[in-house]
Structure 1
Amino acid sequence: MRRHLLGLIAVLLPLCAGPVRAEPSITLRERLVMVSSASSTTLTRLLVRNFAERFAGVPAPQVDTISAARTIEAFCSGVGPQTPDIAIVTRRMPRAMIEVCAANGVRDIIEVQLGLGAVVIAGRRGDAMPGLTARQIWEALAAERPEDEDFGPNRQRSWSDISPTLPHTEIRVLIPSEVAGTRALFDDLVMEGGCRNVTRVRLIFDAAYRRSKCITTRTDGHAITLHGDEVVPALLAAPPGTLAVVSYDQLVASGGNLIALPLDGVSPNPASIGNLDYEHARTFFLYAKRQHARQQQGVGVVRGIHEFLVESTSEQAGGPGGYLTTAGLVPLGPAERAAQRRIAEQGRLMSR
């Protein structure tokens, strides 16, 4: 972790190497610096792009994409121009990390919820497929499965090879590529969630190696990787029995041509996603350091924190039909969206 933070500081230092503004406008850095978890990549990219378009002439924020745990650790590493201003993750900051933040001087934290992300296993209307579990999805798509005392290539060819309760049809699943936010959620919530309790995987000590065993998909034609916007058209043209990994927004946009399969016994819909009964959904959180914000006197680490918060919680971003829905975002309810906008506009500090 220390090596990673040193590397991040090496990236940030050139951003604050320019001349300091004369009084009364003292700004230590000209560009927002953000850290984002991998599962928030597409959403963060959309926010950054639209922020840059709205505030023409303002340098686009610098974004470093790392793991969810390291995202919060980097955010909590301290206060000053060499540390990030904003973090976007799909897990709420735990109490232990709030205490780490405080110990490092990061005490004035703004927390806003941007919306919900959900990954869906979809099929074509009329194709018969019983409800699946995340464990069965992993067993079907993983590049390697436990074999004796080691791992071996995945040789499962039909769903009935996974379980006799599943149909005797070929395993064929369309998956978005790694650049898509839906793929990151699928890796985190379904593939890694599905292999979490596999004994052979749990015995792997190294976290990175353990994760690779969970999320690496087979390349023998049973898991087909496509660009994110190609998945739905390809599914509609695919042989019967083909499944696809899509966002909930893509499912709704299909106009009823696709159906969502229950996963682990729960069907994805606005209610089950909104109250997180559907386990394969997460809330996107944005954290910002109010200590870094440019004050009314023109003093601060960086300008733009308030404006980025307001943009991120706007209706044009996270409301129904907002541009974040293209990243698979499920909007919060109207009252909750209004509450998050008030937090952003007032710069209200996290109270927990």
Structure 2
Amino acid sequence: MRQLVLALAAGGLALAGVAADAAAQTAMTLRDRLVVVSSASSAGLTQLLTRNFTERFAGVVPPATEAVGSAAALERFCTGIGPQTPDLAIVTRRMPRAMVENCSANGVRDIVEVQIGLGAVVLVTRRGEAMPALSSRQVWEAVAAERPVDEEFVPNTTRFWSDIAPGLPRSEIRVIVPDHGAGTRALFDDLVMESGCRYVKEIRLLFEAAYRRGKCVNSRIDGRLIAVPSDHVVAALLSAPPGTIAAMSYDQLVSSGGNLVALALDGTPPTAATIGSLDYGPVRTFYLYAKRQHSRSQDGVGVVRGIREFLLEATGEQAGGPGGYLTAAGLLPLMPADRAAQRRIAEHSTVMSR
């Protein structure tokens, strides 16, 4: 009996030691949640990813997210290694070589880069309505809050499309767009409005980049531009007066059942082929960057848990494949071979080589 008691006592001590070791390993993780920074146009996609990631893995603390712009997100990502720095960045531009070097100089060397998918914004009308192709410059001139006149910026009071260019119809300017905060609205501002004002002389002469952007993306508030929730854009267009156009994601256009027709923009019609080849202008690739140095090792040591799992979530078919939940944020899937390649990178946490 005395030997049995001693054996049980020894077993209890062993179990306590295992528990202590597990607690010590957990303590070696310096943060209890992922930190994700993103661009404004990636904010909707980021929220969908973090929500589904949290639901998929029981007990996971929801990641902390912040939308700060592509350049600022990459700068924050590259500030260094440690719990005070982000683990992941989701942006709509590839990390330039100079930023890679900045990362390396700050000790951020093991970076995993995956492409999540493509984002595209299209301009559409109802089937049967006569609206010719438009240029980004014409769209900007139609809906910008101010237009340059005699080298001065004045409120935009343009009423008809024909006032923008002789070849456009004499129909009233009405443009429906998603509300601010929607991923498609951010793409519209970035890829149509800002692109449309890029070569306006009066804007190019403005010294501060933030001031130039303000002149590019500020829209008129006199009723010519109508902002609605992103999922109401199609219904709003179908019930709008003749001649109205709308900005929406390519996925919404495809889902409209043939009731809507996309306009060519800057000479290129939006199709799966022109978007996939990036020939259509308002397209961006969504990139996800992760710090492999922050990942928890097999011994439980690391900044945070869940980096590899987040990469796998972002590259899974349930997220970025055809019919995946990220299509709700306007995402277009990559080609099948490209999606498979991105999943392999995520599975092995392959460090980018450039």
Query: Residue 25 of structure 1: CA displacement?
Result: 5.6
TM superposition shift of 1:246: 0.3
Instruction: Give the conservation status (yes or no) of the 8 Å contact 1:119–1:247.
Output: yes
Q: CA deviation at 1:279?
A: 1.1
Query: Percent of aligned pairs with the same residue?
Result: 67
Q: Are residue 27 (structure 1) and residue 48 (structure 2) matched? A: no
Question: Would the aligned equivalents of 1:25 and 1:297 in 2 still touch at CA under 8 Å?
Answer: no
Matches within 5 A, 1:131-170: 131-170=133-172
Distance 1:351 1:256 in 2: 44
C-alpha distance in structure 2 between counterparts of 1:271 and 1:347, whole Å? 30
Q: 1:67 aligns with which of 69, 80, 100?
A: 69
Q: Is the 8 A contact 2:25 2:299 kept in 1?
A: no
Cα distance in 2, alignment partners of residues 314 and 337 from structure 1: 8
Q: Which of 115, 119, 126 lines up with 2:117 in the alignment? A: 115
**Which residue is 1:101 aligned to?**
103
Aligned partner letter, 1:307 = E
Equivalent residue letter for 1:32: L
SS in 2 for 1:169: coil
Aligned to 1:313: 315
**For 1:80 and 1:56, how far apart are their aligned partners in 2?**
25
Structure 2 unmatched ranges of 5 or more = 1-21
Deviation at 1:24, TM superposition (A): 7.0
How many residues in Structure 1 have an aligned counterpart in Structure 2? 333
Instruction: Say yes or no: does 1:329 pair with 2:331.
Output: yes
Flag the structure with larger Rg. 2
Partner in structure 1 of residue 280 of structure 2:
278
Distance in 1 separating the partners of 2:58 and 2:228: 34
CA deviations over 1:37-78 (Å, ceiling 9, x no partner):
001010001001101111122111001111211111000111
What secondary structure, in the 3-state scheme, does the structure 2 residue paired with 1:22 have?
A: helix
Are 1:254 and 2:256 matched, yes or no?
Answer: yes
Q: Show CA shifts across 1:114-157 (max 9, x none).
A: 00000000100001111100000000000001122321000210
Q: Following the alignment from structure 2 to structure 1, what is the Cα–Cα distance between the partners of residues 297 and 228?
A: 46
* Offset from partner CA, 1:95-114 (integer Å, 9 cap, x none): 01000000000000000000
Aligned twin of 1:205: 207
Amino acid at match of 1:275: S
Partners of 1:207 and 1:195 lie apart in 2 by: 13
For the 8 Å contact 1:27–1:301, the answer to whether it is kept is yes
**Equivalent position SS for 1:230:** helix
Q: CA deviation at 1:166?
A: 0.6
From 189, 192, 209, the equivalent of 1:190 is 192
In structure 1, the residue corresponding to 2:303 is in which secondary structure? strand
Task: Report SS of the residue matched to 1:282.
Answer: strand
Deviates more, 1:24-33 or 1:60-69: 24-33
Indicate conservation of the 8 Å contact 1:272/1:278, yes or no: yes
Asked whether the equivalents of residues 33 and 86 of structure 1 are also in contact (C-alpha less than 8 Å), the reply is yes
Which range moved further: 201-210 or 80-89?
A: 201-210
Deviations 1:179-236 (A, max 9, x none): 2100000000000011011011111111211111100110111111111111100101
Aligned partner letter, 1:240: P
Displacement of 1:323 after TM fit?
0.2
Aligned match of 2:9: none
Matches of residues 171-186 of structure 1 in structure 2 within 5 Å? Answer: 171-186=173-188
Superposition TM-score, scaled by structure 2 size: 0.93
Q: Which runs of 4+ in 1 moved over 4 A?
A: none
Distance 1:203 1:52 in 2: 47
- 235, 242, 246: which one pairs with 1:244? 246
C-alpha distance in 2, partners of 1:326/1:24? 36
> Secondary structure of the residue that 1:296 maps to in structure 2?
coil
Q: Distance in 2 between matches of 1:129 and 1:197?
A: 25
d(CA) in 1 for partners of 2:281 and 2:297? 41
In the alignment, what sits opposite 1:91?
93
